[in-house]
A = this chain, B = another copy of it.
Amino acid sequence: MRRLMGLINLEHEHDFLEELTYFRCGAATPFAGRYRLIDFTLSNMVKTEIEEVAVFTNKKYRSLMDHVGTGSDWELARRHGGLFILPPDWNDPTDISRGDLRHFHNNRDYFNRSKADHVLISGSQFLANTNYEEMFNHHVKSGADVTLLTVHLDDELPEHKSQLRVTADNGRVTQLTNDQNNKEAFTNVYIIKKDVLMDLVDECIAFHKDHFFFHGIKENLDKLHVESYQYNGYAMFVNSIESFFRHNMKLLSPDAYRRLFFDNSYVRTKISNEPPVKYRETADVKNSLLANGCVIDGDVSGSVLFRGVKVQKGATVKNSIIMQRCTIEEGVHLENVILDKDVKISGGQTFIGSSEKPFIVAKRKVI
């Protein structure tokens, strides 16, 4: 798939996850026991056999860099192509570009160097486990300048409010609106011809625009051939604490778990070499997802436990999300709680939130 290159554009993604994104960008937020949000998009690109992926980062990108490393866990540690984390580091006083255009402008080399004719652009908040091969075939066959990936919303959820809705005529996009009655939602994933992209970038910069998709594409729907392509698999948007909590919990339904993880090949993430989960004599675990490296003596139900979590004897973890390497000491009771990584809850305490407003503890806290 040398004709397609990838771009994960995080410039305009807000860090909406409260305590979870105080020190990391949204794309680096842990999800579903062993992943980070960005893993889904990154894995989908790799499954599409894309060999060059750039990430436009804005700030708080250190944990993202740490997570993806050389890209080797996604088979993207390449001598040619591979993965490029591109932090903002602008030094040209004559540069007049703004917003994400600044990234496009300052990373022109990345696009020029590649032999690809098309660019797949994505954010990190639309989560699915798929590959974009069919979408790309549709894009090429239709001769479109741009092809937008859409999903049909069966139920309207708070996280859908910010998604643009797509009106298409025989596949050709005629309108992008905020009309909540239109159930066809844009996923922020699209494929664009590279030369069209570069031209639009120049045009946007010349007219002092600051948002490539809004100004380059949405405002030019009449001039461009923009197609729409619907995705039908299991998918979700994660762009708030509430949606983050709900979609983690939803994976505890066997159907959702199977559809997300087993309908396509596995989602790649950073390898961490944790041993299998150890359940000790007194463990009582029900209806939960557990990642390797956990050591369980206590009761766990309706929860998602990330790698290396320790639940000691007599501790109860219920309807909660416990991130990497947390320790829950004896007699602790947790319910509707999100613990960020490396939190230690010492003996005997009780913390209870609600599913709408989970109790969140920021990382590395000892309580």
What is the 8 Å Cβ interface bit string for chain A, positions 175-207, against chain B (1 contact, 0 not)? 000000000000000000000000000000000
Q: How far is the CA of A62 from the CA of B61 in the complex (A)?
A: 15
Total identical chains: 2
Please state if A61 and B79 are interface contacts (CB–CB under 8 Å). no
What is the 8 Å Cβ interface bit string for chain A, positions 58-75, against chain B (1 contact, 0 not)? 011110000001111000
Given A23-B92, A92-B23: A77 and B87 within 8 A (CB)?
no
Q: How far is the CA of A89 from the CA of B89 in the complex (A)?
A: 11
Q: Is A22 an interface residue when CB atoms closer than 8 A count as contact?
A: yes
- For window 72-116 of A, CB contacts with B under 8 Å fall at 72, 77, 79, 82, 86-87, 89, 91-92
Please state if A91 and B271 are interface contacts (CB–CB under 8 Å). no
Please state if B77 and A70 are interface contacts (CB–CB under 8 Å). yes
Please state if A60 and B89 are interface contacts (CB–CB under 8 Å). yes
Note all chain B residues with C-beta closer than 8 A to A62.
Answer: 86-87, 89
The A interface, classified by DSSP as helix, strand, loop or mixed, is: loop
Q: How far is the CB of A190 from chain B (nearest CB, A)?
A: 26
Note all chain B residues with C-beta closer than 8 A to A89.
Answer: 59-62, 87
Q: Which of A69, A82, A86 has the most CB of B within 10 A?
A: A69
Q: How far is the CA of A71 from the CA of B82 in the complex (A)?
A: 13
Note all chain B residues with C-beta closer than 8 A to A92.
Answer: 23
Q: How far is the CA of A202 from the CA of B231 in the complex (A)?
A: 53
Range for the number of chain A residues in contact with chain B: 10 to 19
Q: How far is the CA of A179 from the CA of B325 in the complex (A)?
A: 53
- For window 9-54 of A, CB contacts with B under 8 Å fall at 22-23
- For window 204-259 of A, CB contacts with B under 8 Å fall at none
Note all chain B residues with C-beta closer than 8 A to A69.
Answer: 79, 82
Q: How far is the CA of A91 from the CA of B24 in the complex (A)?
A: 9
Partner of A59, one of B70, B86, B91: B91
Q: How far is the CA of A61 from the CA of B91 in the complex (A)?
A: 10
Please state if B91 and A60 are interface contacts (CB–CB under 8 Å). yes
Q: How far is the CB of A357 from chain B (nearest CB, A)?
A: 24
Please state if B77 and A72 are interface contacts (CB–CB under 8 Å). yes
Note all chain B residues with C-beta closer than 8 A to A72.
Answer: 70, 77, 79
Q: How far is the CA of A271 from the CA of B79 in the complex (A)?
A: 9
Partner of A70, one of B22, B23, B70: B70
A-B contact pairs, 24 of them (CB 8 A): A22-B91, A23-B91, A23-B92, A59-B89, A59-B91, A60-B89, A60-B91, A61-B89, A62-B86, A62-B87, A62-B89, A69-B79, A69-B82, A70-B70, A70-B71, A70-B72, A70-B77, A70-B82, A72-B77, A72-B79, A77-B77, A79-B271, A87-B87, A87-B89
What is the interface of chain A, defined by CB distance below 8 A to chain B?
Answer: 22-23, 59-62, 69-72, 77, 79, 82, 86-87, 89, 91-92, 271
With contacts A62-B89, A70-B72, A79-B271 known, what are 4 further pairs, Cβ within 8 A?
A22-B91, A23-B91, A62-B86, A69-B79
4 cross-chain pairs, A with B, having the tightest CB-CB distances, nearest first: A70-B70, A62-B89, A60-B91, A70-B77
